[in-house]
Amino acid sequence: MTVAAAAPEQTSALYRWGLMAFLTLAVTLYGLTLLVVTVLLPQMQGTLSATQDQIAWAVTFNLLATAVVTPMTGWLINRFGRRSVMLVGAAGFTLATVGCGIADSLLTLVLYRVAQGGFGAPLVPLGQAITLDTFPKHQHGMATSIFGMAVVIGPAFGPLLGGYLAEQYDWRWAFFMIVPFGIAAFVGLMALLRDKGRSGGVRLDWTGFLALSATVVGLQLMLDRGQRQDWFESTEIVIWAVLALVALHVFVVHSASARQPFLNPRLLADRNYALGQVIVFIYGMMNFTPMVLLPPMLKTLYGVPDDAIGYVVAARGLGALIGFFSSMYLSKLDPRVGMAGGFALQSVAGYLMAGFDFNVTIGMVAAVSVIQGICVGVVWVPLTVATFATLPPNLVPEGSAVFHLLRNLGSSIFIALSVNLVIVSGRQSYAQLAEFVTPLNPIMTLPWAMGGYSIAEPEALGRLAGEVGRQAALIGYIDAFLLYTVSSALAIPLVLLLRIRRA
């Protein structure tokens, strides 16, 4: 027998903040596992005797499971209630994490990673829905700030913590260290979480669910494997792209004509919610892209050691903490102020990254990372509050699931585009710069202009080719950072279209 949830005003502050603590813990643990595997892949590849392409499935299938199950959160709550969904999700995620740590084959690891993503996927949107439902509206800004830290900081510190444990002990400990905290989160939620949201006789729209799942799977596989398979030169990538387009068409047509579609079209009738989906998609684009681009750039072009790169990642997490704490005070202002200011500052950070040269210091890179983290925290709270401010309470769980699905898709799409831009622009720049390396270029005859490089001997020419390649690769990263800057600026006009109710 479950206890019905009370209205926010009828619950004590101790209960609300205790529940928030365990929700935040569960979501933080799930966030840690999203990107922690990226730093464990080399060790896992050797232990499990897998190729580089095979071990990448440990990341791909986890993302696929997350993307497929996330939009199901609303239906799961209506069918089973929020308490059952949250407890089963937390327990299944913790058990799957244990399985990842003890996996002795690639197939076993991939299966546990699928379970980890599937059970953990509802935790974030459901945790956000419970937070908004548990706290009264005048405390939504502060509560969303604290919950947002769990959503953003977990993935930020996951690679840093996982890399340290893998280096000091073994890659398996990056999973084992999560287990005791997962048990604590489960016990706390079981003690405090009250049931709500269950509706009798709710049927799953299988056509809409399968169409949306096929769309997400096709898009995710196309983005994840595109670079390794040379994009549309590969038949496999063409198949995934066609699958995504056809399935998307089926999903849109079916949702417009079905009596009870998988995702309620009434969600988009709310102006703020519809705009919020576009803005959170751009927010997702900006969220993790620097974390993907900066470490390989610092490692390959600047020769920065791994521990210093870890500090750069940690600096971004520190900035996120500052941003979320600042948003508690900014929440008293018009939400559009925080969002517009955050995206504008993010554009400034992107412009600073686009100005990086080979004289930039690690301190400068860390400072820009702090600015990015601040933007992440400042934007998240007003974006969440404004998006759900006018949405009916019964649509919040389903709306939250779509909200986080689009955030994740924005990250996947923009990361793939940025990495591809780095490679393509680097190749083109190398070809253009190499045209000047010729004896017919008068500059090549000036020793003071060559800086110690020469084209007279094969060994010296090889060093010059390496330097040209390094400069060309940096141009590729600069172009990706310029795309980041423009994309951030495009969100500002959308923010101004939001409607904010005055008290």
User: What tens digit of pLDDT does each residue of 109-138 get?
Assistant: 889 999 998 898 888 888 888 887 888 877
Q: Same domain, yes or no, for 375 and 314?
A: yes
pTM of the model: 0.78
The answer to whether position 1 is within a domain reads: no
Q: Same domain, yes or no, for 238 and 294?
A: no
∠ CA 327-139-133, rounded to 5°: 120
Distance CA(136)–CA(7), nearest Å, equals 8
Q: For 33, which DSSP code? A: H
Q: Same domain, yes or no, for 316 and 255?
A: no
Q: Same domain, yes or no, for 268 and 165?
A: no
The answer to whether position 238 is within a domain reads: yes
Residues 6+ apart with CB under 8 A from 28: 149, 150, 153, 154
Distance CA(221)–CA(150), nearest Å, equals 27
The answer to whether position 2 is within a domain reads: no
Q: Same domain, yes or no, for 273 and 247?
A: no
Average pLDDT of 319-326?
A: 82
Distance CA(326)–CA(382), nearest Å, equals 11
Distance CA(487)–CA(492), nearest Å, equals 10
Spatial CA neighbour of 290 closest among 485, 443, 138, 111 = 485
Number of domains observed in the structure of the chain: 3
Classified as helix, coil or strand, 248 is helix
Q: Same domain, yes or no, for 255 and 272?
A: no
Distance CA(30)–CA(439), nearest Å, equals 58
Distance CA(57)–CA(50), nearest Å, equals 10
Average pLDDT of 25-38?
A: 81
Question: Domain limits at 230?
Answer: 205-261
Q: Same domain, yes or no, for 238 and 121?
A: no
Quick one: pLDDT at residue 486? 93
Distance CA(212)–CA(98), nearest Å, equals 30
- Express each pLDDT in 437-473 by its tens digit: 766 666 666 665 565 556 666 666 667 777 788 889 8
Residue 31 identity: G
Residue where a domain stops, chosen among 244, 261, 278: 261
